[in-house]
Structure 1
Amino acid sequence: MSFKMSHRGRKSGFTLVELLVVIAIIGVLVGLLLPAVQAAREAARRNACSNNLKQIGLSIANYADRSEEKMPFNKDQAMCNGGNDTGRFMFQLSNDGAWSWIVAALPFMEGSDIYNAFDFKADAYSGTNLIQAARPLKNLLCPSNSSMTAVRTGQAASYFNWNGYTMGGTDYVGSLGHVNSGWKDCGAIPTFPDAPLNRFVPGSAGTPWVNGECMLEQVNYNGVFKQVGPRRLGDILDGTSNSIAAFEDMHWRGGNQTPFDYNVTADSAWVNPNATVGNLRNLMNNRNPAWQQGAGDQRCHGWSSNHTGGASAVKADGSVQFFSESMDHIVRYGLATIKGGEQVNQ
């Protein structure tokens, strides 16, 4: 007698419990991996931002090489001769012209086509000039800045009469130095325990800066740039490796708005002389309402970025460095000035 053993094959598969375990493991792995991916992306954005500053540093050096050591500069003579601030962002004949140092440096930062398209003899609001001024320039925008690449300048009509035009923005500005004047001292400066009174004035909000006064304040600008007119490389007595030429500036606005308004306005347009220079007197990434960067005036912004823990700057020798937002105040002062004789330990 023979017996045939017959048995059906068992179907393989996951039980519900096993599937839930697998899903949970995948979720944990994704949760562990996501911060690393985000950090890698931000590192790439920060690197691209540093490359932008490197390009800006090179453009300053190349301009000086072609201009008997004069660096690119703001032209805003009409306002400084006593005119009204309203509406002059570049080359209006009736106002003796005004434009930013970035406009002057365009041929040295892959912007020759834009520079050549400008009509420096035409009104600022003429068709061709408006078209060029509205162009967002990639090397002037930090990839970590999520704001629009162009700004609606009519948002800031309280200071400049921009008539609602749209302009390309900049996330980088030239350094006016560590200025104890009306320029962008938009709130009381805090008392620092390690700050001698000849460097920081406790509680000072700066002096008024209105029509015709900027020429009087030219002597106060102790950085690589001035509000109006050029510096020469030879003016940087502290050494080009010890002086910041340009730095990140997100053009955050504060003033009467709580919490901070992080939207850019007319003060970030790269054609605007007031938008392309800044003061290093205030703390980096300053959001404290007691001495905020923004106080309702377009000139109220400073060294700031969307990077974690600090912001970058390019020195006058073309080298780029990322600085901690908790950097020593005296170090910031030494890097801001061009002939203070400070020993800077960076």
Structure 2
Amino acid sequence: MRLAQFRSRLAFTLIELLVVIAIIAILIGLLLPAVQKVREAAARMSCTNNMKQVGLAAMNYESSYGILPPGVNLSPNATNGANAGYVSGPPYAGPYTGVLVYLLPYVEQQNTFNLIPQSYMTLNTTQGAWAYNTPPYSSDGNHTGYGFVPAYTQIKTYLCPSDSAQTTSPGSGIVDAYWTGPGYIEIDYVYDGSFFNNQWGSGWGRTNYIGSGGYLGAAQSSFQGIYDANSQTKIVAITDGTSNTIAFGESLFGTAKGTRDFVCTWFGAGTMPSAWGLSSSPDWYQFSSRHTGIVNFAFGDGSVRPITLSANYTMFVYASAMNDGNVIDFSQLGQ
């Protein structure tokens, strides 16, 4: 009797292989949005924690000095001499030291803080702008100095992990000074460092966070924010209540769609106004984020709460002011 022999097949047919590939593609298509949502949730949580650290750092500063740090150090005595172009004389000559600089010792950055000469921290100083007074200087006629060592420190606490553009060069400029003046916004920026052999500010540490300047600076006294140029705000001056008043917000400091036009340094990040509200297509003068539908804000008591892009404009302005006396309906802010 002859026994039949059976041989096992060692390969897929082409049709079977295509079916398997199609199934894998479908599974990836189903899982990818879920993975992205989990990744964004983690990034949003990390951003919230960063802002919490910034808010608590400001409270610890106040505990040490009895006042909150200035939104930006803008000295009427500062001068840049021949080291800069149009910002050579007061009152716009510097030193442009932003609020986040004063918080360095309270976010575990004491070593970086120790590198900063005290003249950049002192109000009414004669010290000129930090980005214009340390050689080597640019050769474009503006004489920007890119040798200021402390500004090159990359501080993770000052960065939102959802914003990948912060680590790349912008299309136009790197902001070394940003603050809300009396009825206007003032920025000073240097062009993309790639134009100058990757030296001119391209390696400066950046940030997604900035102090709240109220509606539009001190000129709008009824909607004044916690932070202003040379401000020395005491907690008792926040009569609307620290839990009702925005202290810090996050921003992309540039257009959210298309080529990024600006990014901001943590050394120069001062104060941003609420006058232009929130938008799904924000620009450099608005609080903004890469989070879906919201922007994170740290309030005066150290709490961090998201505000939706569809928030009521008036309520948002009220929340940015520290002593306007208006009652805030937080449900209209998406909370």
Change (3 A) 1:154 1:271: farther
Shift of 1:116: 0.7
For 1:178-213, what per-residue CA distance to the aligned partner results, in whole angstroms no more than 9, with x for missing partners? 22xxx6xxxxxxxxxxxxxxxxxxxxxxxxxxxxxx
Aligned pairs for 1:104-123 (under 5 A) are 104-121=102-119
Q: Helix, strand or coil for the counterpart of 1:55?
A: helix
* CA displacement at 1:160 relative to structure 2: 3.5
Shift of 1:120: 2.9
Task: Tell me, yes or no, if structure 1 residue 173 matches structure 2 residue 157.
Answer: no
Aligned partner of 2:7 in structure 1 is: 10
- Trace 1:62-141 onto structure 2 (pairs within 5 A): 62-78=60-76, 86-87=86-87, 97-121=95-119, 124=130, 125-126=133-134, 130-141=148-159
Q: Is 1:327 the counterpart of 2:329 in the alignment?
A: no
Query: What is the aligned partner in structure 1 of residue 58 from structure 2?
Result: 60
Alignment of 1:294-309 (within 5 A): 300-309=284-293
Q: Give the counterpart letter for 2:35 in structure 1.
A: V
Taking the aligned partners of 1:47 and 1:69, their CA distance within structure 2 comes to 29
Kept in 2: contact 1:134–1:150 (CA 8 A): no
Cα pair distance change 1:328/1:271, threshold 3 Å:
same
Cα 1:97–1:16, aligned 2, differ >3 Å: closer, same or farther?
closer
Write the deviation string for residues 117-162 of structure 1: whole angstroms up to 9, x where unpaired.
1123476333697011122211111111112448689936996475
* Contact preservation (8 Å) 1:78, 1:97: no
CA distance 1:5–1:79, shift in 2 (3 Å): farther
Residue 270 to residue 150, structure 1, CA distance change in 2 (3 Å): farther
Q: What one-letter code is carried by the residue in structure 1 that aligns with 2:241? A: G
Name the structure 2 match of 1:240: 242
Distance in 2 between residues matched to 1:333 and 1:120, nearest whole Å: 35
2:276 match: 282
Give SS of 1:58's match: helix
**After alignment, is 164-173 or 151-160 more displaced?**
151-160
User: Deviation digits for residues 55-90 of structure 1, max 9, x if unmatched?
Assistant: 100110000011114344421022899x999558xx
Identity among equivalent positions (%) equals 28
State yes or no: 1:142 paired with 2:185.
Answer: no
Aligned partners of 2:171 and 2:262 also within 8 Å: no
Mapped contact 1:176–1:279 kept (Cα < 8 A): yes
Deviations 1:228-279 (A, max 9, x none): 322111111111111111001110159xxxx7542324xx12222xx32101
Does 2:312 correspond to 1:342?
Answer: no
TM-score, normalised to structure 2, is: 0.74
Q: Superposition pairs for residues 164-203 of structure 1, below 5 Å?
A: 164-166=200-202, 167-179=204-216
CA contact 1:71–1:232 (8 Å) conserved in 2: no
CA distance in 2, matches of 1:226, 1:11: 79
**1:316 and 2:296 equivalent?**
no
SS of structure 2 residue aligned to 1:11? coil
Which consecutive unaligned segments of at least 5 residues does structure 1 have?
Answer: 184-215, 294-299
Alignment length, in residue pairs? 285
Cα RMSD of the aligned pairs, angstroms, is 3.4
Checking the alignment, whether the CA contact within 8 Å between 1:313 and 1:320 is kept in structure 2 is: yes
Structure 1 residues 285 and 146: alpha-carbon distance in aligned structure 2, compared to 1, 3 A threshold: farther
Q: CA deviation at 1:315?
A: 0.6
Match of 1:208 in 2: none
Whole-Å Cα distance in 2 between the matches of residues 149 and 303 of structure 1?
Answer: 19
Bigger Cα displacement from structure 2, 137-146 vs 158-167 = 158-167
2:178 corresponding residue in structure 1: none
> 1:129 and 1:64 mapped to 2: Cα distance?
31
Q: Which has the larger radius of gyration?
A: 1
2: CA distance between counterparts of 1:241 and 1:306?
A: 25
* Maintained 8 Å contact 1:278/1:301: yes
Change (3 A) 1:19 1:79: farther
1:171/1:25 Cα in 2 relative to 1: closer, same or farther (>3 Å)?
same
Deviation, 1:98, is: 4.0
TM-score by length of 1: 0.72
* Regions of 4+ moved over 6 Å: 150-154, 156-159
Equivalent residue, structure 1, for 2:124? none
Distance (Å, rounded) in 1 between the aligned partners of 2:36 and 2:189: 41
Q: Which protein has the bigger strand share?
A: 2
CA 1:318/1:77 → structure 2, altered by over 3 Å: closer, same or farther? same
Q: After TM superposition, give the deviation of residue 227 of structure 1 in Å.
A: 2.4
- SS of the aligned residue for 1:284 comes to coil
